[in-house]
Structure 1
Amino acid sequence: MDILGDKKFNKKSWDFSTHAKGPSGKIEFTPDQLISEPSGNLFAQSQNTGMGWDPKKLWGTQFMILSTLGGMRGNDGEPVALGHHTGHFELGMLIETVANQIKEDNGIPYSAYCSDPCDGRSQGTSGMMDSLPYRNDAAIVMRRLSRSIPTTKGVMGIATCDKGLPAMMMALAGTP
């Protein structure tokens, strides 16, 4: 494998576990839920449990946190992967604070991202052709992400910069 131009690769990178113990617990569905709820709502609860959410807390009020987060930080705060710009690189801390508050209030936070570009980074390149159209495209994607969890009772947008913030505002304005 030569994805980085080096003819050597670390054989340990192919040494990983393919089996692990999953989350424990049991989802308690009522007969009325099994009869009345759309199958997607019931399937979603198994997804939530599979991601580690306590099955006893599945029925709290659900909220969507949309953001333009980009890049990734490790638990130590050091960058794991860089984003397009510093504005969206810092949003993870805000998202975590909001999600923890929703959880503390017995709600269920969901988080989805549609990162944004930096036209400063793409100046003088063909990347500028994507800078302005991003806003409209991202607004469409964010609305779709929000509607894809139809059981949420609210949506919060967290965005920065001159492309991501207008895209978020357009998305929120068009979200029922």
Structure 2
Amino acid sequence: MLEQSLDGVEALLLVGGPAGCGKTTIAQTIVDAPGQFELPASCPLPFHRTDWKSLEAKHFREGTVIVEFATNKLNDPVQLQKISDFIDGLQKAAPIMGTYVSVIDRKTLLRRYFQRMTAWHFLHAGKWKSLSRYLLAGGSDDFGIAAWNRLLDSKSLARQAWPISRRAGRVQ
């Protein structure tokens, strides 16, 4: 299935971080203006973005795909194994040119997560579960980041911080 969704894609970038940390916003900015960012030279245009759960329902035919992973549930061994297997499939479908991790403190994450909630989100039980997990997570600001880092290490995928920096001389 992944091979069909990524048929013709020349490169992948993987990014992990908790829901609400800005993965999608930054990825969309990269899609819209890739020349503004310090990206691996081996990542051809055009850029596309998707989350891992919906990737197989899409069809990308060229360029580079940024695949986003929410790390909130990676401390669950079942979820960790699903994502591990998915990354194995990605490695077979196209070259992974970069992996990223988005680290964010609890206060900023809670503010961002709450601000992005629409009226519909307030009716969605899953959004409330995530918000309550963020509020009650025992003082930890990890949100599955350590599990994401271990997963990338186990696959020999070096990582760097997300958001990536803008090119020098560009207005931020």
TM-score, structure 1 length as denominator? Answer: 0.27
TM-score, structure 2 length as denominator? Answer: 0.28
Q: Which structure: larger Rg?
A: 1
